Amino acid sequence: MTVEMILTLITILTAIGLLISNRIRPDLVALMVLLALGLSGVVSNKEIFSGFSSSAVITILGISMISIGLQQTGATNALGRMIHHIAKGRETLLIFLVSFSSALLSLFMNNIAAVGVLLPAVMSLSRRSKVSPSRLLMPLAFGTILGGMATILTTSNIITSGALRDAGQPSFRLVDFFPVGGPAAIVGIIYLVFLGRLLLPKNGMKEHETREQRLAERLSDLYQMEQNLTQFTLLPRSHLTGKTIKEGGWSNLYDLNILGVIHGKAQYYSPGPNTLLHAGDTIILGCCPDDAILNNLGLQKISSELNTSMVTNDTFPLAEIVIAPHSRLIGKTIRESSFRQLFNVKIIGVWRSGKPYLANISNLVIQFGDALLVQGPALHIHNLKDNPDLILLQEDPDAVLLPRKGFTAIFITAITLTIAALEILPIALVVLSGAVLLVLTGCMNLNDAFHGIEWKAIFLIAGLWPMSIAIQETGLAAVAINQLLELVGGGTPLLIISVFLFLSMLLTLLISGQVSAIVMIPLALTAAGSMNIDPRPFALAVAMGCSLAFITPLGHPVNIMVMNPGGYTFKDFKRVGFPLTILVFFTILIAIKVYWGL
């Protein structure tokens, strides 16, 4: 072996050891690899930073931005509500719908982003349907991984396609993964619904133990909202009928805070001062006035129970803010502060001296350290974090900032993916163009987009990219393949492909699919070249192996994301994931044999 081969091998083994030990951040390990290969001269100065300009990195960047746009416009949030409406609490159907919808969503967006969007919806779905999160979150993660196998938009699939292009070989199109990944996803979902469901843990985390409880519910419990929410019918004889909230003096004259209005089938959250009230409207207040006031206002109490969902949703969430030191609001009453006019959100509760106040708060003098429970449009709450007078404690991650842009975001995304599928232009260019178009059309804010991008993954891939170059250019790939071919006795192409599938899976379980794809793809291309056959099925086997990450939570970031809220242990992943891995493994081999004629 040459000096360059030895240096490359030492760098690879050191990187794998550091990644497995988890003592140093993976993205920092990647940068260390880049520096080691560059400073040692194994990879030339011209190629050492090529990963940052690779099509794989640009595609991931664009897809991440598109995912953020879809989330901010609420285009994906409707999915959770639809699942609840269809399943109606039936567990088997819930598991199918969660795994199927997550697989479907991962066809069009990054796996991590897909789980990030769906996780709050599934947790809420768990509470609505009274099905333990442990029964739904593993199907969510596994469904996402399975769906990602069927599209080029998965990270490992992007890497393998980019490596083919860089090697001067025909790269994969958007739909080329579906003939193999599609059957694998179908088999996997069927397993989860019928057999995997029986292996899922039954004693997941209890409701009060879940860390992912929705912000609105926690704030509602803290401020005792549901105990104080009351609804009334506005009677025809009321002098408030036909007047706006401001004209009726609800706040100024009666110190009543209207949190919601139901007019026929329309429901209005956080109604503004110009909202017109009609006879028969249902008025939701944060307190219950005495009978004399009700009679004077022409209100009739409705005795049915209320919950937080009657006054808040993804578009009009709740949030908690604290008065900042030296705030201009200190010393003013809530009415004098003109809070609604200044910030376009309304105060519905105040936390002071360890207890909440929801009734008769208009004349309460604002003090430093007060916590305010506010309600209003998600975008206006989001903008509070930039105000020096206020400190936004926590923002609802499910909030829909731009609800009116949902259709636009879906349309742009559909056009983007269609053009990418038709290969009219390079996929990286098309995806990034779609992301920029979402910004230009107001579907997302560029600062929010940059903030939401998974930069760790970007630096991980770009930093490890020179490793792939070194493996090929030093001849280490050729040596490794020759040893592999001798080991299997010069077997058939399908046998060699099965070896690559297995090795990619094994490496993925130890580190991650992103790293294993970078390490394995040059070996696969070299093997195909030595056998003088099409390298694409070999590259496909590597990509599929990098997605076989079901046996351990460390195999894929989405497994880690659901581990705590689902209350899972390593044994849970092994029990459910091992049979799934075997089924999907052989499904992939059969699909490759049939589709590629091997």
User: Do 7 and 131 fall into the same domain?
Assistant: yes
- Are residues 464 and 588 both part of a single domain? yes
In a shared domain, residues 202 and 260: no
Map residue 281 onto helix, strand or coil: coil
- Do 304 and 324 lie in one domain? The reply is no
Sign of CA dihedral 535, 107, 114, 208: negative
The answer on 437 and 376 residing in a single domain is no
Rounded to whole angstroms, the Cα distance separating 140 from 128 reads: 17
- Give a yes or no: residue 415 inside a domain: no
Burial class (CB in 10 A: 0-12, 13-18, 19+), 239: exposed
> In whole angstroms, what separates CA 40 from the centre of its chain?
39
Are 293 and 178 members of one domain?
no
The predicted-structure confidence for 472-530, as pLDDT tens digits, reads as follows: 788 887 777 677 767 776 678 898 899 899 988 987 876 666 677 888 888 888 888 88
| DSSP structure string for 416-477 | HHHHHHHTSS-HHHHHHHHHHHHHHTTSS-HHHHHHHS-HHHHHHHHHHHHHHHHHHHTSHH
- Are residues 326 and 262 part of one domain? no
* Same domain for 233 and 137: no
Q: Look up the domain containing 299 and give its range.
A: 216-310
Residue 537 lies in a domain: yes
Do 43 and 145 lie in one domain? The reply is yes
Among the candidates 245, 277, 310, a domain finishes at 310
Query: DSSP state, 326?
Result: T
The token pair at 299 is: 């209100």
| Count of residues making up the chain | 598
* Amino acid at position 294, single letter: L
Phi/psi of residue 368, nearest 5 degrees: -65, 135
Residue 497 lies in a domain: yes
3-state secondary structure of 93: helix
567 in a structural domain: yes
Residues 155 and 221 in one domain: no
Q: How many domains does the chain have?
A: 3
Q: Is residue 404 part of a domain?
A: no
Question: 300 with 325, same domain?
Answer: no
Question: Rounded distance, CA 132 to CA 180, Å?
Answer: 33
So what's the pLDDT on residue 512? 63
How many Å apart are CA 490 and CA 129, to the nearest integer? Answer: 55
Give the tokens for residue 119.
Answer: 């996780």
Residues of the chain scoring pLDDT < 70: 22, 79-80, 113, 116, 120, 203-214, 397-398, 421, 423, 481, 485, 489-490, 510-514, 554
Burial of residue 267, with CB atoms counted within 10 A of its CB: 0-12 exposed, 13-18 middle, 19 or more buried: middle
| CB crowding 81-116: b at 16 or more within 10 Å, else e | eebbeebeeebeebbbbbbbbbbbbbbbbbbbbbbb
In a domain, 409, yes or no: no
Identify the domain boundary among 366, 394, 422.
394
| 118 in any annotated domain | yes
446 and 335 in a common domain: no
Q: Is residue 400 part of a domain?
A: no
Give me the pLDDT at residue 200, please: 94
Please give the Cα distance from 228 to 115 (Å, whole number): 35
What is the phi-psi region of residue 264: left when phi exceeds 0, alpha when psi lies from -120 to 50, beta otherwise? left
CATH number, position 389: 3.30.70.1450
